[in-house]
Amino acid sequence: MTKPVKISIRNLYKIFGDDPQHALKQVQAGKSKADLLNESDHVLGLRDINVDMKDGEITVIMGLSGSGKSTLIRHLNRLIDPTSGEVLVNGEDIMSWDESRLRGLRRQTMSMVFQKFALLPHRTVLENAGMALATQGLKQQEFETEATKWLERVGLAGYGSQYPHQLSGGQQQRVGLARALTSNSDIMLMDEAFSALDPLIRTDMQDLLLELQAELKKTIVFITHDLDEALKLADHLVILKAGAIVQQGEPQHILLNPADPYIEQFVADINRARVLRVRSVMTKGAPEGKVCGDIAASDNLESVISRARGALDRRFRVMEGDTPVGSLTMADLMLALVPREARIPA
């Protein structure tokens, strides 16, 4: 069953400068970002963005610095207004909302986890975790139970009375995550939320987010410049370049079918064995004939290589639960490990 769309972005443009509407006409006529800046001193932030973000999924928006990803996420709660276009939340265009409705959107419908933690240094960990509910007028005794619950869930049981400066960077980001969860919002916006963390702590936070998401099924919009992180977290991946979408879709499909040389360059150095899943490279349909064992459709190719113990003549049956859904030969697996542009035609 198709999941409903939670957030829909339609024909979104953002131009920074003194006369964005005049510049918009130039951009829509085909003027490039570089030419717009050189000729009119306007900056093209976003060009004709169209994305549907489904309920209960993680949409990852990625790109290099200056690609427009942080500008885009700030349109979702109208911290930035577009030059042109629509942002629909639960089917309503929030561009028509007044300040009162926008405050409700930011307090109750959407929460945000920032790159720099954004904790209040003079408030305790518990008070920071309950900040979203405090802004709705609740006293500490009213939000303490909820905030404590989420602090425990993110691994900070017993830290409620401490202050942010007493915590490590990873612990501070866990407080930021607990704060977003305490708000009980349907939508979580995460802008480079883990990029300031050390690699091992970053991996732990990614695992924690996926663990919580498996249970909570939030609609999460996650910004990153790291492709490994994007491929690990995303249900739907959107790749930006110079303010425009280069390619979007299911991450495994993008990895196997890059749309242009820019995407091919992006995915060239990825550990494909660790990232690619059996379901993406298998031959569909219940297999006939001999197989040497069963593997799960969700297994990565690295685990299958380990199962084969170096033998290249193996063929596995692919299972979804108790149902056979396909087969995978080691020959097809090895071919999938080679980037498309590096393959030599037979």
Domain boundaries, the chain: 55-79+98-267, 275-342
Residue 58 has pLDDT above 90, yes or no: yes
The H or E element that residue 182 is part of is: helix 169-182
Number of Cβ within 10 Å of residue 103's Cβ equals: 13
From the list 7, 108, 60, 343, the residue with the least C-alpha distance to 226 is 60
Q: Quick one: 136 exposed, middle or buried, by C-beta within 10 A (0-12, 13-18, 19+)?
A: middle
CA atoms within 13 A on the CB side of 338: 10
Kindly report, residue by residue over 62-114, the tens digit of the pLDDT: 988 889 999 999 999 999 999 999 999 999 999 999 999 999 999 889 998 88
CA atoms within 13 A on the CB side of 258: 17
User: pLDDT value at position 249?
Assistant: 94
346: pLDDT confidence band, cut at 50, 70 and 90?
A: low
1: pLDDT confidence band, cut at 50, 70 and 90?
A: low
pLDDT > 90 fraction of the chain, expressed in percent and rounded:
61
Q: Which residue in the block uniquely carries the two structure tokens 């009375």?
A: 161
Four-way CATH pick for 275-342: 3.10.580.10, 3.60.15.10, 3.30.70.1230, 3.30.450.20: 3.10.580.10
From the list 336, 209, 327, 329, the residue with the least C-alpha distance to 271 is 336
Kindly report, residue by residue over 259-269, the tens digit of the pLDDT: 888 888 888 88
Domain 55-79+98-267 has CATH 3.30.1220.10: no
From the list 318, 306, 248, 308, the residue with the least C-alpha distance to 54 is 248
User: pLDDT value at position 45?
Assistant: 96
Residue 232 has pLDDT above 70, yes or no: yes
Q: Please indicate whether residue 266 or residue 330 has the higher confidence score (pLDDT).
A: 330
Predicted TM-score (pTM) of this structure = 0.87
Q: What's the average model confidence in pLDDT over 6-26? A: 96
User: pLDDT value at position 233?
Assistant: 92
Residue 344 has pLDDT above 70, yes or no: no
Query: What is the bridge-based pairing of β-strands 5-16 and 43-54?
Result: antiparallel
User: pLDDT value at position 96?
Assistant: 93
Instruction: Tell me phi and psi for residue 202, to 5 degrees.
Output: -60, -45
Question: 27, 13 in Cβ contact below 8 A?
Answer: yes
What separation in angstroms does the CA of 58 have from each of 106, 278, 325?
A: 19, 21, 25
Burial 269-300 (b: 16+ CB within 10 A, else e): eeebbebbbbbbbbeeeebeeebeeebbbebb
| Radius of gyration of the CA atoms of the chain, in A | 23
The length of the chain is 346
Residue 288 has pLDDT above 80, yes or no: yes
In the chain the first and final C-alpha atoms are separated, in Å, by 40
Kindly report, residue by residue over 158-207, the tens digit of the pLDDT: 999 999 999 988 888 889 889 989 888 999 999 888 887 888 888 888 99
**C-alpha angle 332-238-194 in degrees, rounded to nearest 5:** 100
